[in-house]
Amino acid sequence: MARVPGRVLIRDPAVAAAEFHRALEGIPRETAARVSANASRAERIRRCAVEMNALFFRVRRHLSSLIAGIISFGLLRRLAAGRWAQEVRADVDALLRGLPGNVTTEMDLAVGDLTDFLRPHPELATFIQSRPWADIQAALPQKEGGRELAAALERFLSRYGNRCAGEIDISRPRWRDDPTLLLRVMTGGLSAESGAHRRNHQAQADAAEAAAARLVAAARRGFWGPLRRRLVRRLVRVARSGMGLREHPKFVVVQTLGIIRAEVLGAAEELSRRGQLAAAGDVWHIELDEIAAALDDQKLDLRDRVAARLAAFHADQGRKPPLVISSDGEVPSLADGRQDLPAGALPGTPASAGVVEGLARVVTDPTREVLRAGEILVAPFTDPGWTPLFIHAAGVVTEVGGMMTHGAVVAREYGIPAVVSVTSAVERIRTGQRIRVDGTRGFVQILSES
């Protein structure tokens, strides 16, 4: 925090952002080296626990540039409450479009590039559309364009292969294991024009720069104009640079989880081969120190404790957690008393401004369902593993989320209207219905049944 004032007022934000990226990119490499330096599998597992516990300490010392961006954006909003900004107040939110350096947006654009690569090969697209990944992988070398697609996909996975839907759950298969979601996104976007995703993102960046210019021009008005103009110009630069770093710490976490996952899976195979686990997949129901202890002691049988935990896990799977719960266990009523809604509208939280109408596509499992270009994504939640769908979405509706969740951040970058925290959205909205998403006022309307 001591570094934050200097980042807000003095330091070149572009230089600070470059240092931030270099530092965070190095953390997973250093983690992998420390883990692999241990000779025995048990010691590597113990080292994984140490690395996970130390991860926040390693990341947080570099967070000042990100925090400076968030603070600068908040200060701009406060300044824009003045009369000088009466005509340009909405331009503050427009600054969040097309942010530089957002690792999740860069990933989504790379998925769009894969779609462009697939577009000239319609037979290959038809082949990969509905088959399991194992069959696709085996047949790609024999298909026209298949070898080139496999090489392009491998380049993508070398960077983003540790991501997936629900990626904070280490038991979930990574894209490196099964890139089915990527293939679904690619085939779902074939109806869009080649390069449209890149052009749209550049248009959003241009819109943000134009908004910044209007804010700076408006700030010069009045007695304090010259001083305020310099301050606004500075805050705009720091806000756009710093807010673009928002996704990178999570990316580091996911890369670290990928390193740990590989070690755990290796240990699971050994324990199941010895008979200490009934199946390798049971490893996700025991802790790292238990894995290490079992590797050291071949007589330690983990099957009974796994069975008890599996029973509790299956019992909990049917639960639906409340959106809000207080520290003393109370679940408050979230009945909405808003008077500004049209009749029958579903209320939510505005996350990305704009209004759009289109056909809804309810997606609960992005690896099984295809979002077509121009449809409105309706989902229980989104995380970075879902956001490749956004390059084709006309709008986004989720049951869970807030202004700083991943889906909201990426929707604003793309200029896609989004409403989050819409109670039971996936149950009340059906695929094929025509809906209106008002991301400015925060509600969804069902316009027609089909």
What digits encode the pLDDT tens for the residues 5-50?
999 999 999 999 999 999 999 999 999 999 999 999 999 999 999 9
- Diameter over CA atoms, the chain: 81
Both 241 and 146 in one domain: the answer is no
Both 279 and 424 in one domain: the answer is no
Both 14 and 151 in one domain: the answer is no
Is residue 334 over pLDDT 70? no
Q: How confident is the model at residue 405 (pLDDT cuts 50, 70, 90)?
A: confident
Position 104 scores a pLDDT of 92
Both 247 and 386 in one domain: the answer is no
Both 253 and 217 in one domain: the answer is yes
Domain membership flag for residue 327: no
pLDDT in tens, 91-129: 999 999 999 999 999 999 999 999 999 999 999 999 998
Q: Taking a C-beta distance cutoff of 8 angstroms, is the pair 313, 285 a contact?
A: yes
pLDDT in tens, 50-101: 999 999 999 998 999 999 999 999 999 999 999 999 999 999 999 999 999 9
Position 171 scores a pLDDT of 95
Both 288 and 203 in one domain: the answer is yes
For residue 285, what are the domain limits?
A: 1-119+190-317
Residues acting as catalytic residues: 406
Domain membership flag for residue 385: yes
pLDDT in tens, 272-287: 999 999 999 999 999 9
Both 104 and 182 in one domain: the answer is no
- The whole-model pTM stands at 0.88
Both 41 and 107 in one domain: the answer is yes
Is residue 140 over pLDDT 80? yes
Domain membership flag for residue 235: yes
Both 200 and 92 in one domain: the answer is yes
Is residue 267 over pLDDT 70? yes
Q: What is the mean pLDDT of residues 418-422?
A: 93
Domain membership flag for residue 339: no
Both 110 and 131 in one domain: the answer is no
Is residue 256 over pLDDT 90? yes
Position 383 scores a pLDDT of 86
Both 127 and 240 in one domain: the answer is no
Answer with the one of 189, 210, 230 that is the final residue of a domain. Answer: 189
Q: What is the mean pLDDT of residues 147-173?
A: 94
Number of domains in the chain: 3
Position 191 scores a pLDDT of 86
Q: How confident is the model at residue 130 (pLDDT cuts 50, 70, 90)?
A: confident
Domain membership flag for residue 334: no
